[in-house]
Structure 1
Amino acid sequence: MAKSLLIISRQAPWAGLSAREALDIALAGGAYDLPVGMLFLDDGVFQLSALQQPAALQQKDLTANLKALEMFGVEDLYACSTSLVERGLSADALSVSPLTVLKDKELGALIDRYEQVITL
């Protein structure tokens, strides 16, 4: 039986390779029918913004990768409400749905539900 995997993405979309690597791991896990969830925390919530302008940084847009998650069976997507508020993002201005927004006190229970956790 496949072990469940939670990927915690804490980096802004173009602050390095971590954001893309987190998405790649999620897509690969989903392709092999691994139960995968993703939690966007801290600056990782910027990956969810619909107002990204990757061309200004000569980068590839991550939105297509985010939207591909569902096609690969990665449907459990979460964001930290405190991270969203601290960065001025509202849940209705995000490019990903469905997305479950969790309060800080709910994060521990989410992490406990998964057998393996990777933080990038």
Structure 2
Amino acid sequence: MAKSLLIISRQAPWAGPGAREALDIALAGGAFDLPIGMLFLDDGVFQLAPGQQPQSLEQKDLSANLQALPMFGVDELFASQHCLDQRGIRQLTLPAVCVGDAEISALIDRYEQVITL
């Protein structure tokens, strides 16, 4: 049986390859029907913010990859409420469950394997 996997994405979409790599792992795992969840922490919550303009930073747009997550069976999306509040993000481009700091540890414990990027 496939092991469940939680991918913790901590990088902003324009801060290097980490955000793209996290999405690529999630999409690849979803294609093989692995039970996958994603948790957006720290600057990783910027991936869920609307109105991004990556072209102005000469970066690739990750929004298509994010929108594809549910199509690949990656339906369990979580975002740190504390990190969203710190960065002033009020709206999300995807339906992510906002979790408090106390819930994050329990969330991580639900998964058999965890990858942090």
Rounded Cα–Cα distance in structure 1 between residues aligned with 2:85 and 2:43: 11
2:26 paired residue number: 26
- Report the CA distance between 1:59 and its aligned residue: 1.6
Gaps of 5+ in 2: none
Aligned length: 117
Runs of 4+ in 1 over 4 A off after TM superposition: none
- Report the CA distance between 1:94 and its aligned residue: 1.3
Rounded Cα–Cα distance in structure 2 between residues aligned with 1:45 and 1:16: 15
Is 1:65 aligned with 2:65? yes
Rounded Cα–Cα distance in structure 1 between residues aligned with 2:59 and 2:11: 15
Gaps of 5+ in 1: none
**Where in structure 2 are the equivalents of 1:1-120 lying within 5 Å?**
1-90=1-90, 93-97=91-95, 99-120=96-117
Q: With the length of structure 2 as denominator, give the TM-score of the two structures.
A: 0.98
Q: Deviations over 1:9-42 (max 9, x none)?
A: 0001010000000000000000000000000000
Q: With the length of structure 1 as denominator, give the TM-score of the two structures.
A: 0.96
Q: What root-mean-square deviation, in Å, do the aligned CA atoms of Structure 1 and Structure 2 show?
A: 0.6
Q: Deviations over 1:32-79 (max 9, x none)?
A: 000000000000000001121111012221111001000000000000
